[in-house]
Structure 1
Amino acid sequence: MNSHEGIRIAVAAKQNAPENGDIVAFWNAIPDEELFKVEAVRVNLKPEDLPGKPLSRVKCERCGESVMDSREILLGGRILCRACANGAYYEKL
């Protein structure tokens, strides 16, 4: 974590697996170098994004849930969680 160095792996394959046929055999026949692009990268993480104990904690003024590590949104002078400020990514059952 202290080196800020990492590896980024992204899909490089330009072809798609065939609609019919053995998909596993198709992908196994392609060398890794053609399937993936591997890059050495520098990762600059903010202290609040590092693992460990939260650095800050506030309560959403609408739903009361805890919002940690500066993820709160100030909207209309109120501290809100992302779900209350922007709408949730989920739907309650």
Structure 2
Amino acid sequence: MAMMLLTLDELLEKTAALHNHLCPRQVIGVRMGMLAGELLELDLPQPNKRLLTFLETDGCFADGVAVATGCWLGHRTLRLMDYGKVAATFVDSKFDRAIRIGVHPDARYSAREAEPDARSRWHGQLAAYQHLPADQLFFWQPVHMRFSLEALVSRPGVRVNCAHCGEEIINERERIINGETLCQACAGEGYYDTAAEPAAIAGPR
């Protein structure tokens, strides 16, 4: 049985419920996800893990993309590459095809032209982004990923322990340094510096 595709209004209702309100960037995210489905000829939101999405920013936009595509952090089909851009790359893992979609540089101007009587710029964008033609709202291009999707997804059930801190590492994210298996933090790639030893934080009182 063919999957019943959701309309724009239905997807906006879902993302508004998830985010507790509806804003212009959520509309951008939903429409971008819908466009990705058209360009890659996929029925979205997906019921499986065929599509992988790489977001270039977080926030309201990300929720819109997730609702429209069915890609979620918990499914390991949504990734954040924090470039500070309202853009995303959508990868059809079955056929190794990828499309990067970004917001057209003139999208805000087009919104003002489309909704000149809106009571504010925000309200004009909220309305216009729902009906502007895709080529006025977005630009897109085919791209090639610089890394292996197989390595990104990794093998299930594979786990090792860091030789320095002893913490478990899953998803094959360890580093081998001078023959030692290390987590990324102990290999010098961490995003934090420890303020105290773990025992001093969580030890018995």
Q: What SS does the corresponding residue of 1:61 show, helix, strand or coil?
A: coil
Q: What SS does the corresponding residue of 2:164 show, helix, strand or coil?
A: coil
Other-structure match for 1:47: 150
Q: Cα distance 1:79–1:70, how it changes in 2: closer, same or farther (>3 A)?
A: same
Q: Which structure has the highest helix share of the two?
A: 2
Q: Cα distance 1:27–1:71, how it changes in 2: closer, same or farther (>3 A)?
A: same
Other-structure match for 2:170: 68
Provide the rounded CA distance (Å) in 2 between the counterparts of 1:37 and 1:5: 17
Other-structure match for 2:140: 38
TM-score, length basis structure 1: 0.59
Provide the rounded CA distance (Å) in 2 between the counterparts of 1:51 and 1:24: 44
Other-structure match for 2:179: 77
Q: Percent identity?
A: 27
Q: Cα distance 1:16–1:64, how it changes in 2: closer, same or farther (>3 A)?
A: farther
Q: What SS does the corresponding residue of 2:165 show, helix, strand or coil?
A: coil
Match for residue 5 of structure 1 among 79, 83, 97:
97
TM-score, length basis structure 2: 0.33
Other-structure match for 1:22: 121
Deviations 1:27-62 (A, max 9, x none): 6547442332222345573423237624x3221111
The runs of 4+ residues in structure 1 deviating greater than 3 Å are 14-17, 26-32, 40-46, 90-93
What is the one-letter code of the residue matched to 2:179? G
Q: Cα distance 1:51–1:9, how it changes in 2: closer, same or farther (>3 A)?
A: farther
How far 1:81 moved relative to its partner?
0.7
Equivalenced residues, count: 89
Provide the rounded CA distance (Å) in 1 between the counterparts of 2:154 and 2:184: 20
Provide the rounded CA distance (Å) in 2 between the counterparts of 1:90 and 1:68: 19
Contact 1:83 1:89 in 2 (8 A): yes
What is the one-letter code of the residue matched to 2:160? V
Q: CA RMSD in A?
A: 3.5
The answer to which structure, 1 or 2, has the higher relative contact order (CA under 8 A, 6+ apart) is 1
